[in-house]
Amino acid sequence: MTTAVDDGAVVGEDGVARCPWGAHDPLLREYHDTEWGHVLHGRDALYERLCLEAFQSGLSWLVILRKRPAFRAAFARFDVDAVAGFGDDDVERLLADAGIVRNRSKIEAAVSNARAVLRLEEEGPGLDALLWSHAPDPPAPAPRTLGDVNATTPASVAMAKELRRRGFRFVGPTTAHALMQATGMVDEHLAGCFRATR
């Protein structure tokens, strides 16, 4: 039994108020409570989130979470150096892997994006610095309801544009915003959620 509170958060059976999407399914709840919105740094960790958000496009996040262990195994734990070295045989291997989302465009984008990460390092800022340069400062206030959460923002539009300029694929403004939410660049836990920081 869950109970909605005035600001859009939902109080679960454990008495904890959470964002509605993280209140029911145990896997989503764990992700909501321990990962989503936590500040994340590190090249390979951010590359993994970038890839998973791209694979999620058109699907539910729960599908991706359930497949995340298989994604990690298939993509060498999202080690950028390893994935950048993937060739045609690896793409075919991934297309045959029922444990992941078998979409050729998304798989090829993940490989191409690993190579783009390496080019970024050669040219200057690196993936971590580039992504975090788009984090809004000051941060926006916590949204009160899910209706207050936009699918894109000016910051995510700018991030997607810069990533595309740098050769990244399958990263539009919506995917960029989801990445920003997931990695703590923006905190969009609802105001009544126990994880909200503002």
Please report whether residue 122 resides in a domain.
Answer: yes
pLDDT per residue as tens digits for the range 109-159: 999 999 999 999 999 889 999 999 999 988 888 899 888 998 999 999 999
Please report whether residue 195 resides in a domain.
Answer: no
61: annotated active-site residue: yes
Please report whether residue 1 resides in a domain.
Answer: no
Tell me what pLDDT residue 22 has.
93
Please report whether residue 14 resides in a domain.
Answer: no
Which is catalytic among the residues 21, 47, 48, 53? 53
Which is catalytic among the residues 35, 61, 108, 162? 61
Tell me what pLDDT residue 1 has.
47
Please report whether residue 192 resides in a domain.
Answer: no
Please report whether residue 10 resides in a domain.
Answer: no
The CATH number covering residue 153 comes to: 1.10.340.30
Average pLDDT of the residues of the chain: 93
Please report whether residue 172 resides in a domain.
Answer: yes
- Distance, in Å, from the CA atom of 93 to the CA atom of 87, rounded to the nearest integer, reads 10
Could you give the number of structural domains in the chain? 1
Quote the pTM value.
0.93
Task: Please calculate the CA angle 148-181-130 and round it to the nearest 5 degrees.
Answer: 130
Provide the domain limits for residue 175: 40-182
Which is catalytic among the residues 31, 36, 47, 132? 31
Question: Quick check: 53 and 179 in contact, CB under 8 A?
Answer: yes
31: annotated active-site residue: yes
pLDDT per residue as tens digits for the range 44-79: 999 999 999 999 999 999 999 999 999 999 999 999
Please report whether residue 66 resides in a domain.
Answer: yes
